[in-house]
Amino acid sequence: MPSKNHSIIAGWAVIATMLCQFIPLERLNPPARMPEGVPAEVAQLLMQKCGACHSYRTGWPESAYVAPLSWYVVSSVRQARKAMNLSLQGTNPGHTVQTWQGSTTPPV
């Protein structure tokens, strides 16, 4: 039989988890463009395989709306967009496909 302290701690943990749901996260998808200067077939493949995290066309999964897992999902997408953002490809001369070679992203 659990002690009274364990019940109190469990109760507070449930309340804290419920309150975490109200912490706002930025799940933004600004207007996106297809990568410029890339053949259409390659651009389509990139968007299919990498676009969910590496572009502004993110289709946020249900887990992105349930804390604390949402914190991990949103953080992962932010890091992915920072490393390579297909929606910005061609807008910054310093960010080209060649600069993305050697990244730690797993192969598709």
56-90 pLDDT, tens digit each: 888 888 888 888 888 888 889 889 888 888 887 76
Say how far residue 108 (Cα) sits from the centre of its chain: 17
What's the pLDDT band for 107 if we cut at 50, 70, 90?
very low
Give the global pTM: 0.63
The band of 32, judged by pLDDT with boundaries at 50, 70 and 90, is: low
Query: What are residue 62's phi and psi, to 5 degrees?
Result: -60, -30
